[in-house]
Amino acid sequence: MEYTSVEQEFYITMMYSNLSAFVKAEADVEIAKNTHRNNKYKYQANRIFIIGRIRTLLPKIILNCPPVNWLLDLFEDAARNKSQIQPGRRDTRQRRRPNKRTHFANRKTTT
């Protein structure tokens, strides 16, 4: 079938998303327990860090040779790598204009 690789990419992305959501939820609970009440900001687990760690661990998990305490280490690292939740953030993103340079498109190709 023509779309097999696209379908595989979709399912692997969904697996990354589900695993990272599971780890993030557990890490957020741990962060909420360990933060002080007088902090100016609230904190949450860093989602990008978690996805990066899962991407390096997932092939080892699939091949059935993960590190001994990989899940516990992942939770601990995710709880340590946290990011601020800044309340009231509403700035809209500025749209970029497309680059109007055309000289690369008009180049002659070699044969």
Q: Rounded distance, CA 31 to CA 33, Å? A: 5
Sheet strands (E) in 49-105: 82-85
**What's the alpha-carbon Rg for the chain, to the nearest Å?**
21
**Mean predicted confidence (pLDDT) in 65-93:** 83
DSSP 111: -
pLDDT of residue 94: 76
pLDDT exceeds cutoff 60 at 71: yes
Burial label, 51 (beta-carbon count in 10 A; 0-12, 13-18, 19+): middle
**Mean predicted confidence (pLDDT) in 1-22:** 86
Domains of the chain, by residue range, sit at 11-85
